[in-house]
Structure 1
């Protein structure tokens, strides 16, 4: 080889080396799932969302099966145990979200009286949450009961003035009233933030407290996700089995990232 070619070859190798060192990881990835899930997504008024959430243009394998967001309205919605909630805030660092029941939006007189329930395998209430208990269609004027703390409110859905409606934040009051056979036709437990408990005994104050939502912590395979992130992967799921999956630059794995080459099958977990 002619001697004057060596400087050119050396320069070319240096350029290639520098390019590889400074080249973003996503440009070196050959896993389609990694490339798709790497970018955060926006949902209505919430931005920069990531695992465990998915929805809109973000595929299900980028999130956890139970964390699909409906982004079609002004506020995102999530379904938890067959009940829809507005998602008011999401904090990935603390793995918490603030939600409020959609059927109580701007009202405390919903069409159906259903208690708030959550999937305890995925969600947990935080220390700042507490329950308000709302009693509907009470035939007994509870004011006649001594030593109980409760407040009366009106519901437009009641066609007869013989019915009364009350709410309380005392568990003792709840047990006392609940044990009165036939006292009230319905009672509903609705979580609220302790800081948002109404200080005024008005319809608007109670509605505002419920609309402000409550906090939930989540566990979407958190420990597996931590392992995946530490290995340089992205947390997700296998849409076929709904199990956790770690999307890495060179493939998708059950946990962590492998340095070995992988099959081109996008969800062949090792």
Structure 2
């Protein structure tokens, strides 16, 4: 090699090093986001999960901020508007999940008597498949047990001391303003699947219906996610703003993927310099 080439080669290496060092960090990080979120994950009994779900062992930017799963128990849990639900099934194709109220699993006397709540901006009931099972609490002494009319008496205890009379209700008969006989102090609507709605108001039938859960459809920026997927990206969120983001092989974008490679510029510069030297 000719001696006069050494200064030129040295200059080339300096320029190449500077170009690689100053390649925007965000571009490299975005590519890492894609690689991190690319593989599906498992959560307890559920497998092959992806956006909008994520867990404590998976970066939140791989999912939607409101769809974190707790995988610490046998059945995954999700919190919706401060209420915990057991996730029994997830269908990514239909964007639905089957959940059951954790506080009612295997029992009809939870610690707190509150109605089922969901975030209507993110979830919606599937009206063709869900219906409400109403449970009435702290009612007056029974006039009679009315199983033939869809009522069945059960007792609940408060703080293991005070016992009060309650009912399952499988019919709206004798219900006034949402209240059995107009005299019960509390009533709770628990969604259940129409297909397993109890036909007899027995304890086992009611528990089986509640434990089977109900269906919800989610909307986690579905239209923007479809655009992202069609462009070859992965749906996710921005780790800073928590807004929707499309993770692509060449970066993260608000929607879709850029057709321009974000990593080609330093190598393009190298190619030009090498061509010059040759």
Describe the SS at the equivalent of 2:191.
strand
Instruction: Find the aligned partners of 1:169 and 1:58 in 2 and give their Cα distance.
Output: 42
Alpha-carbon distance in 1 for matches of 2:257, 2:79: 31
CA distance in 1, matches of 2:174, 2:186: 15
Alpha-carbon spacing, 1:85–1:66, altered in 2? closer, same or farther (3 Å): same
Mapped contact 1:168–1:174 kept (Cα < 8 A): no
Q: Secondary structure at the match of 1:72?
A: coil
Aligned to 1:68: 68
- Counterpart of 1:114 in 2: which secondary structure? coil
After TM superposition, give the deviation of residue 225 of structure 1 in Å: 0.2
Cα gap change, 1:160 to 1:51, in 2 (>3 Å): closer
1:155 aligned residue: 156
* Equivalent residue number for residue 47 of structure 1: 47
Pick closer, same or farther for the CA change 1:172–1:34 going to 2, 3 Å: farther
The aligned runs of 1:119-198 (5 Å cut-off) are: 119-126=119-126, 127-139=128-140, 141=142, 143=144, 149-157=150-158, 163-171=164-172, 173-176=174-177, 178=179, 183-198=183-198
1:241 positional shift: 1.2
**Larger CA deviation: 148-157 vs 83-92:** 148-157
From the superposition, tell whether residues 199 and 180 of structure 1 become closer, same or farther in structure 2 (CA, over 3 Å).
closer
- Cα distance in 2 for partners of 1:205, 1:180 equals 23
Is the contact made by 2:88 and 2:213 (CA closer than 8 Å) also made in structure 1? yes
Cα distance per residue 1:92-133 (max 9 Å; x no partner): 000000000110111011111010010011001112000011
Closer, same or farther: CA 254–142 of 1 in aligned 2, 3 Å:
farther
Say which SS state the counterpart of residue 156 (structure 2) adopts. Answer: coil
Q: What SS does the aligned partner of 1:256 have?
A: coil
Instruction: Report how far residue 239 of structure 1 moved.
Output: 2.2
Cα distance in 2 for partners of 1:56, 1:87 equals 16
**Unaligned residue ranges in structure 2 (runs of 5+):** 1-28, 264-278
Aligned pair count reads 232
Name the CA shift for 1:30/1:176 in 2 (closer, same or farther; >3 Å). closer
Report the Cα distance in structure 2 between the residues aligned to 1:256 and 1:170, rounded to whole angstroms.
Answer: 50
TM-score, normalised with respect to structure 1:
0.79
Q: Which moved more, 1:232-241 or 1:245-254?
A: 232-241
Task: State the partner residue of 2:82.
Answer: 82
Whole-angstrom CA distance in 2 between matches of 1:239 and 1:142: 59
Q: Do the aligned residues in 1 keep the contact of 2:250 with 2:262 (CA within 8 Å)?
A: yes
